[in-house]
Structure 1
């Protein structure tokens, strides 16, 4: 989900890092250092990973010590030191009676190499009859290899590196750099354009950019990783404020109405083709599995096949459908459904209405009539996440006409841009209640701002990964 927005967020971090490093190079204020280069998405679980790494290191030490102890064959202190080294380098290799045979096979395979003596000395370190010359060569090789392992401790031990090779991409500033507005001007303009291209509403894009600017200007940077982390946090904080619109969940409202002995009445509005009727079937199934008893009102009485469509979903999930003849008064159907729920002690009424364009005044007036008669507790706009800014504009028009209470976005799982999900609640100041996540009846989830934030700031659906350079 939201791959387009993820790339734009990551690119903002990369651009700022490039800007500061380039300026530092011109000032002779830059030095390369060894260490891990974190990706933009790694910071979401950086602390957890460090914790896991620490536990892993503690767990591995006894195994290595045990391996070293098994290789000790002499009481001599110098011999012990040598055996500790050989115990480390022979980890995972044959031991005991097969040790000499393993060494002979290694030497046979390397006989054609130009530097045969050096390599054979390396692998013969487990022999107790090494000469002074071989020990000296071993020390040099070990020194070279230990530098390799100190830089690449998480990489495959089979990889080799030149003595002068250093990890790239990690830099520190001799004198700490301070992020100024000058550094951010072009970068934030590019971010804003990128957000608009991703169907994010203009006011939302501006709010994100302003928040990021406020958080970053004045930050003092010592290492290149700091740039990535500060940018990540600034963007995440900005988006968190945008998507977290307070409001009660539908489940909480059902419980509150149930305590009063009344059903929760929900009226669904939106244009044709957004998945409104299918969403009603999903919600009926969702709350049926939670132990509630929904009833559906087929109040779309004009569109050909509308009653048959909602009847199909009602039969599939096993809930009661209240319907009248085609062309009858939609408000009357909604009223009868509410009365049925009250009489039968059902907790939830889901009212399907005809899809209509927000610009059709006559049809909008009809919807107002349904609202007056049925007196719904919630008026929910159902929008297609893939339509991006169009969904936000539609929700705004419906909100102006009948005052909607919340939003359900369909096809959110297929939304690579994320513009509607980021914008719609902030623009109309109403919460997103549910997200449609597929075509099955179970493919719906209650909206959770924290979950949404993790989706926007994760790589390939994960909380984050650490890239080592």
Structure 2
């Protein structure tokens, strides 16, 4: 690889212009306000006018500082650790979990440390980032429609903390199955809150589906069992079980959830969390997954999540796919998760 001199030692105007142009392009990419990892978007090269070289160059941040430090020579592991910190801060600010950041760092080190560096280091870093995130989001597809057509009734248990959007997500799932020609029965298993039963019943009436309920304070597992039996007797395709919102630390409610799962033996167990809560949502998913092994997740309020790190972090932590994103308040506002769209939104 041809040696590129430091900026402050450049004497030849042509060489100065090339390196100064690279530095200014990177700086522009970092400083311009963006949404959803816009930091990493590829930009067309602006026209850079020749300027007199200044001995003190402006300080770079994030990806800009990282690429500037990597443009002239091989880099040691020790130096990489120091300069990666700027990029790590950007990732943390966008709700990317520490586990994902460690994975990105590992892959970048493997590609860059103690190896001849390409002239376009920025492009190389972008390529490694995209490849790493693509791997994190790649899973065998869990096709609920195919499962429902193959096995009747398909039992789906939905859980998460209170206020995350479980009941609304169940209503959206009901509409999703109806649009694919499948029938649904709902199980009102949040028997701790009378309002929860009323909320689910309102959705059931709007969507014209049967809802199985018992009295307030009754055994939630019994409600789920009755809904399963109703589906078997009446040829219903899908049973959606709405459970009480609970924290993973609430021993009694977690025991109730485990009982529902033991009694009904659901085919699919789905976690619902708010995308905008970032690493709190990641921690919730991790804890629920350790107690009740889930098959996938639904992230709500994705339409107002401007940071975008939660889908990456949850996928990596639970090693299970995100099936849907909630993107609005209407029944139709349930978007099938598409990793390519996510990477595109992140500027990759």
TM range (shorter): 0.7 to 0.9
Instruction: Give ranges in structure 1 of 5+ residues lacking alignment.
Output: 1-19, 47-150, 153-163, 169-175, 459-469
| CA shift digits 1:315-371 (9 cap, x unpaired) | 222222111222221111111111222222222111000011110111110111111
Residue matched to 1:241: 135
Residue matched to 2:89: 193
Q: CA deviation at 1:408?
A: 0.9
For the 8 Å contact 1:216–1:234, the answer to whether it is kept is no
Instruction: Give ranges in structure 2 of 5+ residues lacking alignment.
Output: 30-39, 53-70
Residue matched to 2:320: 430
TM-score, normalisation: structure 1: 0.60
**Whole-angstrom distance in 1 between the partners of 2:116 and 2:326:** 40
| CA shift digits 1:37-69 (9 cap, x unpaired) | 7965237xx9xxxxxxxxxxxxxxxxxxxxxxx
Q: CA deviation at 1:445?
A: 1.2
**Bigger helix fraction:** 1
Q: In structure 2, which of residues 148, 151, 165 is the aligned counterpart of residue 275 of structure 1?
A: 165
Q: In structure 2, which of residues 75, 83, 87 is the aligned counterpart of residue 180 of structure 1?
A: 75
Cα–Cα, structure 1 residues 437 and 216, in superposed 2: closer, same or farther, change >3 Å?
farther
Q: In structure 2, which of residues 143, 146, 153 is the aligned counterpart of residue 252 of structure 1?
A: 146
**Whole-angstrom distance in 2 between the partners of 1:308 and 1:27:** 73
The answer on 1:221 being equivalent to 2:82 is: no
Cα–Cα, structure 1 residues 165 and 198, in superposed 2: closer, same or farther, change >3 Å?
closer
| CA shift digits 1:370-426 (9 cap, x unpaired) | 111111011111111111111111112211222122111111111122232111121
Give the match's secondary structure for 1:221.
coil
For the 8 Å contact 2:7–2:16, the answer to whether it is kept is no
**Whole-angstrom distance in 2 between the partners of 1:252 and 1:424:** 24
Paired positions, count: 308
For the 8 Å contact 2:185–2:231, the answer to whether it is kept is yes
TM-score, normalisation: structure 2: 0.79
Taking the TM superposition and a 5 Å limit, the aligned residue runs for 1:53-452 are 177-181=72-76, 184-217=80-113, 218=115, 220-222=117-119, 226-257=120-151, 262-452=152-342
**Whole-angstrom distance in 2 between the partners of 1:179 and 1:317:** 62
Q: CA deviation at 1:249?
A: 2.7
For the 8 Å contact 1:269–1:380, the answer to whether it is kept is yes
